Structure 1
Amino acid sequence: MTDISKTNSPLLESLRATAEAYPGRAALLGDHEGFTYGELLQEVTAIAAALNARDLQVVGLFANNGPRWLLVDLACQLAGVTLVPLPGFFSPQQLQHTISTSGLQALLTDMPGYFADAPVFGAGEAFAGMTLLPCTQVQPAKLPADTAKITFTSGSTGTPRGVCLSNATQFATAEALAVSLAPLRCATHMCLLPLATLLENVAGAYTCWLLGGTALVPGLERLGFSGSSQLDMQRLCACIDEHQPDSLILLPQILKSLLDQVDNFGWQPPPTLRFVAVGGGKVSADLLREATSRGLPVYEGYGLSECGSVVALNLPGAVREGAAGKPLPHCEIALRDGEIVVRGPRYLGYLGGTEDDSGSRDGWLATGDLGSRDSDGFLHITGRKKNILISSYGRNISPEWIESELLRAQEVLQCVVVGDARPYCSALLLPRPGTDATQIERWIESVNRVLPDYARIRRWAPLTQPLTFADGLLTANGRPRRDRIAERYAAVIEGLYRGDRDQANAQKTFSSAPASIPGDQNPGVA
């Protein structure tokens, strides 16, 4: 199907209306090419026709950020092809799992050499500015009806889990965001996170187009990304300065690093910025307050891939410090025994499973996140249900709560709180290179003064190297994999509870290893 008037994609219907009204308006700009709304639909229609001509039903996409990524995304919607975005930060083993379980018939990539030795692919052909590699050894997968996209999340194990989404669910999220953000009149959005991240894909590009704006999609290397977990902040700031965007989406660690550029390197956010969404994990109120005071109009949000990304968001005129915002108009949020449940547009099921995998009751989706709502309806996230630590004194403790306090300091790049079945809490910390241990100890003392006794950090130890997704110690959106970290650092943790204070503070000055910046997801916010 290549007739936009008959597509089941409401996003494409909206793009057609914008193209008819403003055919010459810029819709998509990359490093080396750009498209007006009129040109975008012409290119999408041509790619969709080529996909249908090859009788493809499931296609993977492994490519750098850029206009071509989004053109293929839209073309798959028009052609009725299921798209499987493959994150560039996945390990080879995770990519193999994703390819084999999703039933790909072909893979579109701008990095064909990466798969040169993979026996699963045949000889490639030029296609849509990329290379189309046919899959020769992959078995078809049983997909729920109307599956338009399979987004893979890290889940709680190292094996990615495929979340099957319809076009309608993705559009519902983008439309709710567009309605909420319309008063800001954001004309340009710069895609900073990898487009394979549902958050940037839906909340970034789709929402921008529904507002009639221009999506700016520089390549990841232009943004300063390298490898699976490194980010050159000076390059990122230079890219922001060059494009002068109205809106951005950030992970908490990237926000923290931007503040470091402001405080220690003299960078100033561009005056064009009107809205900067932050998600992917709990963000301290102090960090958000500091960002706002330095010219970054930041607003915390919350969501998950199973709901098509964002479900709650702070907005101008409706902000509550320490909260993840109020529910967006397309969904409802409630609490059951302290767990957040969501009702509204949702996923179709997990790849290889059924909708019953969702943990839903009466249409409500159990998120696994713990939280509360205040009298004004703002949602407060306190942690993950399965991450709760229970001390040997029987106190229930959310490690995310303590970690968000410790991470307020610029000197602390990463933090994991431990203490399950232990008499007190301890922490594994990655200090900023060159930081003295005394500075860390003073900071912990100041944080402890505002924490109840049972949640105070009694001892700490330095992480020997940054936690990364590639090492299997972070999820795709930067959350710690606590079981794997506990296994990797078992001896260090035992030392913290043997009374070996020398081991906990062995390093007085820390190496110059670069800071770890995770890839997304479900930028929490998916």
Structure 2
Amino acid sequence: MREFSLPALYEVPTDGNLTDLIRRNASQHPDVAVMGRKVGDSWTDVTSTQFLAEVLAAAKGLIAAGIEPGDRVALMSRTRYEWVLLDFAIWSAGGVTVPVYETSSAEQVSWILSDSGAVAAIVENGAHAAAVESVRDRLPALRELWQIEAGALDALVAAGAEISDATLDERSASARADDPATIVYTSGTTGRPKGCVLTHRNFFAECGNAVERLKPLFRTGECSVLLFLPAAHVFGRLVEVGAIMAPIKLGCVPDIRNLTEDLAGFQPTLVLGVPRVFEKVYNGARAKAQADGKGRIFDKAAKTAIDWSRALDTARGPSLGLRLKHTVFDALVYGKLRTALGGRIEHAISGGAPLGERLGHFFRGVGLTVLEGYGLTESCGATAFNPPDRQKIGTVGQPLPGSVVRISDDGEVLLHGEHLFSGYWNNPEATAEALADGWFRTGDIGALDEDGYLAITGRKKEILVTAGGKNVAPAVIEDRIRAHALVAECMVVGDGRPFVGALITLDEEFLGRWAAERGRTGGTAAALREDPELLAEIQRAVDDGNAAVSKAESVRKFRVLPGQFTEEAGHITPSLKLKRNVVAKDFADEIEAIYRG
């Protein structure tokens, strides 16, 4: 058994709640822009004073509607300015926010609202409202339903006009540090989602220590962060509260379809993403270079960036020749890539899955340091991350200051600290199973090095055991295969089988380009899944993945699927984690085909 900890850098308030942050900002930084609000195609700054006024006006409306201290209020919307405003308004009214993914089905909405006992729901649009209304007969506690795009904020402000400031102040102070701030329902790779109860103290401990350890990323008046991850996910909430705590300017966009334009308009210094986002940035830049006849230059520049980054971790550093090549490619390639990312970007934080050393070194080599981290809903977001001054690519970093990471005898990662959730809502059995003597059992397998840097190697419950008795952790090889531009998703199979196989889906965007360049008609996965040239390209991706594992763990055969793993079909969660049991059931015939004969 091995463990590592770092001393706390932030003194967690003994009392108070998260609404104290917006009042403090308005007092100490009245003219600092804490939010960027997109109206049409342009961004407008919102100062801490303006933000506080809007939050409190909406909170008065919630109080007027009968929201009482401790009442649960569901919030179902894409990531947008109003999400953050309403989150703080619910807290200011003494309520508890229950985020709901905007992609949730009516059945999921029914479960979350009924299990949490939500008395009100605020949704973004008509489709969301219809989903709630379709199951309203199952929600006896639900009294109110507001729609953002149908004037919810104006209605709340008007309704709260008669609520006094004294009443509001009393209500805003009603929640104590150990009271629930939010109930976040895990997206659940198996079974029904469980509601993680996160307190105001959890967020103070999490965000306070993270902001202190990552100070260069959170310079008030200089830094800004663009959030395009789901605000309903705990990672998004960490960014929201951390940005307000610092404070730095926070911008919200609902998706990544217009990410290039949003980056250019907002010009963040920091972005947050999952590995697939960074893979798409790399693959998109490479594809554009190839289309412009500069593919060989890009590939040389990419190799130079990776070599330069690796050399930074050596005692001698980059050689003179490498420094010269890096300078040349900075003018030809790297600078243009940074401009495409907004021009001011300095850092990125990646979570949700392993990024991979190749991408980590590439981005650091082009001037964008991607700091990999690790966390869960139960840990209020990041429980480990790489610090900018001591990055160790290939790991998820050191523990959050003030917390402890322990590796049990069987390799499971255990966590301890004030950032850990208080339990699962209405589920004492699951709470008792997950928490033992103050330690949270993550279900992840990992290792700590001599400097306390954590590496995650797989999920305890996802370990496959082949017919030959070989234990296989799927994550390592899946991440390597998925790094190929043509691969969207990869799921390793082989439990109880004679060898390891894989199901692979194709990235539709790059498949179209690949097909067009080769004169193929019908550039779809269904049309091209048996194409010999495409299969050879996927085999190269598999070979690269196999290079990271032993022969017994390597993928011997694979099947390219005719479509995608989708959230709608239940194959992936909103945070892009594979629901392996659902995939295995829906594609049982494809798995059998791998082992046939």
TM-score category (smaller protein): 0.7 to 0.9
Amino acid at match of 1:317: D
Aligned: 1:211 with 2:284:
no
* Whole-Å separation in 2 of the counterparts to 1:410 and 1:41: 44
Query: What residue is the counterpart of 2:373 in the other structure?
Result: 301
8 Å CA contact 1:301–1:312 kept in 2: the answer is: yes
Aligned: 1:290 with 2:362:
yes
Query: What residue is the counterpart of 1:465 in the other structure?
Result: 563
* Whole-Å separation in 1 of the counterparts to 2:377 and 2:402: 15
Q: Structure 1's 443 and 148: CA in aligned 2 closer, same or farther, altered over 3 A?
A: closer
Report the alpha carbon displacement of residue 112 of structure 1 after superposing the two structures with TM: 4.0
Alignment of 1:28-427 (within 5 A): 28-32=35-39, 34-56=45-67, 57-112=71-126, 114-116=128-130, 117-118=133-134, 120=136, 127-129=152-154, 146-184=179-217, 185=219, 187-202=223-238, 204-218=239-253, 220=254, 223-224=255-256, 232=257, 235-265=258-288, 268-336=340-408, 337-345=410-418, 346-354=420-428, 356-427=431-502
Q: Deviations over 1:463-495 (max 9, x none)?
A: 221112221111221111111111111111111
Amino acid at match of 1:253: R
Q: Structure 1's 261 and 449: CA in aligned 2 closer, same or farther, altered over 3 A?
A: closer
8 Å CA contact 2:121–2:145 kept in 1: the answer is: no
* Whole-Å separation in 1 of the counterparts to 2:399 and 2:414: 12
Normalising by structure 1, we get a TM-score of 0.84
Q: Deviations over 1:327-377 (max 9, x none)?
A: 011311011120000001221211221273452222111000000001111
8 Å CA contact 2:229–2:273 kept in 1: the answer is: yes
Q: Structure 1's 305 and 130: CA in aligned 2 closer, same or farther, altered over 3 A?
A: farther
Q: Structure 1's 490 and 305: CA in aligned 2 closer, same or farther, altered over 3 A?
A: same
* Whole-Å separation in 2 of the counterparts to 1:252 and 1:272: 21
Amino acid at match of 1:199: F
Report the alpha carbon displacement of residue 437 of structure 1 after superposing the two structures with TM: 1.3
Aligned partner of 2:586 among 480, 488, 491:
488
SS in 2 for 1:487: helix
8 Å CA contact 2:415–2:441 kept in 1: the answer is: yes
SS in 2 for 1:148: strand
8 Å CA contact 1:59–1:81 kept in 2: the answer is: yes
* Whole-Å separation in 2 of the counterparts to 1:7 and 1:374: 34
Report the alpha carbon displacement of residue 452 of structure 1 after superposing the two structures with TM: 1.1
Report the alpha carbon displacement of residue 425 of structure 1 after superposing the two structures with TM: 0.7
Report the alpha carbon displacement of residue 254 of structure 1 after superposing the two structures with TM: 1.2
Q: Which runs of 5+ in 2 are unaligned?
A: 1-12, 137-141, 158-176, 290-336, 515-533
Q: Which runs of 5+ in 1 are unaligned?
A: 1-5, 133-143, 225-231, 500-526
Query: What residue is the counterpart of 1:523 in the other structure?
Result: none
8 Å CA contact 2:385–2:397 kept in 1: the answer is: yes
* Whole-Å separation in 2 of the counterparts to 1:458 and 1:7: 56
* Whole-Å separation in 2 of the counterparts to 1:464 and 1:407: 17
* Whole-Å separation in 1 of the counterparts to 2:155 and 2:288: 39
Aligned: 1:27 with 2:41:
no
Q: Deviations over 1:113-132 (max 9, x none)?
A: 53244362778565424789
Amino acid at match of 2:494: G
Q: Structure 1's 217 and 448: CA in aligned 2 closer, same or farther, altered over 3 A?
A: closer
SS in 2 for 1:377: coil
8 Å CA contact 1:284–1:405 kept in 2: the answer is: yes
8 Å CA contact 1:28–1:214 kept in 2: the answer is: yes
Q: Structure 1's 11 and 352: CA in aligned 2 closer, same or farther, altered over 3 A?
A: closer
Q: Deviations over 1:255-296 (max 9, x none)?
A: 111112222236533331122010111221112222323443
Q: Deviations over 1:480-520 (max 9, x none)?
A: 11111111111111111113xxxxxxxxxxxxxxxxxxxxx
Aligned: 1:437 with 2:535:
yes
Amino acid at match of 2:463: I
Q: Deviations over 1:115-167 (max 9, x none)?
A: 244362778565424789xxxxxxxxxxx982221111122325222111111
Aligned partner of 2:549 among 423, 434, 451:
451
Report the alpha carbon displacement of residue 444 of structure 1 after superposing the two structures with TM: 2.1
* Whole-Å separation in 1 of the counterparts to 2:134 and 2:155: 18
SS in 2 for 1:486: helix
Greater helix share, 1 or 2?
A: 2
SS in 2 for 1:469: coil
SS in 1 for 2:490: strand
Query: What RMSD, in angstroms, separates the aligned Cα atoms of the two structures?
Result: 2.4
Query: What residue is the counterpart of 2:166 in the other structure?
Result: none
* Whole-Å separation in 2 of the counterparts to 1:351 and 1:55: 23
* Whole-Å separation in 2 of the counterparts to 1:325 and 1:119: 43
8 Å CA contact 1:274–1:297 kept in 2: the answer is: yes
8 Å CA contact 1:58–1:104 kept in 2: the answer is: yes
* Whole-Å separation in 2 of the counterparts to 1:191 and 1:69: 12
* Whole-Å separation in 2 of the counterparts to 1:259 and 1:310: 25
Q: Deviations over 1:3-31 (max 9, x none)?
A: xxx99654332332222122111111221
8 Å CA contact 1:189–1:246 kept in 2: the answer is: yes
Amino acid at match of 2:234: L
8 Å CA contact 2:178–2:201 kept in 1: the answer is: no
